[in-house]
Structure 1
Amino acid sequence: MSMNRLRRTTPTLRAVLTVLLLVGGVSVLAAPAQAAGTLGSLTIEPSSGNLSSVITVQTPGACDQGTNIKATVTGTGVVAGTENIVGNTPISSFPSNSAGGFNVQLTETFASFAALQSPAITTYSGAYTITVICKNAIGASTYGTFEGTVYFIGTTNTWQSTPPPPAPTVVTAAVRTGTAQVTKTQTCSATFTDATTLAYAWLNNGVPIVGATASTYTLPSSLYSRTISCRVTATNVTGSISSTSAGAVVAAGPKPTLTKAPYTYGTFKVGYTVKTTNGSWSLSRLTYSYQWKRNGVAISGSAARKYNYKLVSADRGRYITCTVKVSKAGYASNSATTARKKVA
């Protein structure tokens, strides 16, 4: 073969050899990794639990490639490099399930997994994703994942596999209805989204009243001239929110009504002492005050402001009455006057 012909054939041979080597490399050295993606959702058993619960995750099918799996947990407080909750393990080690997949019992509980983190997790919060990763025994290539999520409820370190509802929000702000007057019953109402429970509090000048935790409240006399309002708090597993009504100044209760009129008795002659009864009223524990009158005009002096009165010479031939006034804290006052009697 001439040198010129050899020069012409050498590049062709070199190209053929290069193609053969590349093809050989592909078929012998490493198969291309399948693009990693989510192969399905995990079923988590039990569906709820606490830090000590032993969890098994069920895949809905088999890994498309790979001989092994590992499982990881990601979420608040989980440190990179310590996320494995099941190490690299042959798939054949796990029992199959009726869906054509396999069941993986996590080798750590959330309690023991928390201690592996630095710093250790003291309170789980929010969502944590469990991922089963299809892979080979050796190498970093992965061939898809199965994922599931557990949701920790508040700060209780209890979890569930279904998403919790959003925290409540106010739909209609708290409203107090009813006449703001001693003895009158008040009603508190408000509406919220996603509320599991409603709690009520009645407020005296903005301070909760001990024991006043129902949706209704009857105003006692001690709240006269104070500002009454109410608060409703809606709660669910995710959180809570409160709404407080506008305040109203409490008016005095209705005045006592007379059920039996007072009357005077005794000898109505100068020098004698006469007395009055209090009469009967619709309220109990009343305070009584008295004013004796001569011909309808109040008699001056403290002696004329007692339940008894000694008739004096100025009373002779005049008509004597007594006005009984009743009062009670937090209520309007009332009074009644006895029938008149002439002094001899």
Structure 2
Amino acid sequence: MRIVQDIKIKGEQFLNVEPFKKLKNPLLLVFGNRYMLEEDDIYKEIKKIVPSGHIVFGSTSGEILEDAVYNDSVVVTAIEFERSSFIIKCSNVYDYNNNDALLGEKLMEEFPTKDLKHVFVVSEGSIVNGSALINGFERKKGASAGLSGGLCGDDARFERTLASYNENPKEGEIIAIGFYGEALEITSANYGGWTPFGPERIITKSNNNVLYELDGKPALDLYKNYLGEKAKDLPESALLYPLSVKTKVDEEPIVRTILNINHHDNSMVLAGDVPEGSKVQLMMSSVDDIANGANKAAKLAMENRKTKPELSLLVSCIGRKLVMDQRTEEEIEEVKSVVGKDSFICGFYSYGEMAPFSENKTCRLHNQTMTLTLFSE
């Protein structure tokens, strides 16, 4: 596995393009600020650097490269596999009338199952129901292959997200990358570091990822009461106080953040499903808790690995970044301390993270977690 990385800061050029020219048919992961990915010539610019590259774009709420976090940049990681291969498929939510589960099923059906090790998803993050999308993938994926990924971001603006494969980034795109080969070792894990507080309430009215009522009362009204003065900054301020959602007594709770609000019916749109009957609590965290959570996520991803990771692909949540503020890079440093200094690190801050819990291989949608997908060949 050969890996080359570069970065373009807003108003500048890429720093070192020569090493890219030596790669043959690499996978290019291009994560960047949404405004920079809207530039008309962004695809042509990357394609010129690596004409044979397979280019996957995703907009972010912050770009991760090595042990640094950037806000107004485009970062590129090119991977040339020596004994393995990959296949890339894409589709658009608007072609499925927002039936995200069906989209996941159809996209997964396009991948040959023989020797499939893992599928990594770069998904639009503004309108997709990430839970339904993952459920569709899981129905067709098979137990032997892993699944992870993330929902694209748009800083804390929540206006629109962009993604694409081998074309200019656009809205609504879902890109799936299938990795093949016996030589590959791919592991993934996630961990949060958030603590529930306040009374536990019951979801009494919801529809997929739209939350209407808690304990028979308008959900948004209750949430505003908790936020107080911070309610005027919704939905951004909600990132600091996500919801712990527990659907079954013996299941791990899922963390859900609010993507949007509807003042007309006092509802909240969340990144994934919030089933009726689930128990809900508010959550909060600190800088140290989030950094420790990143360390825990890295250790879970490293458990039982036979080889050291050559590439560490990170997807962390915008809410974690807002809490960490000037200390955001500390969680990346925690990851690096575990995966090793020789592992290339790339990734992005997202509106949702896809990974299994440590005790099983079934992928779930998470919020407010650090998610790692580790590669070696």
Query: Please, what TM-score do these two structures have when normalized by structure 1?
Result: 0.19
Query: Please, what TM-score do these two structures have when normalized by structure 2?
Result: 0.18
Q: Which structure shows the bigger proportion of residues in helix conformation?
A: 2
Larger of the two Rg values belongs to structure: 1
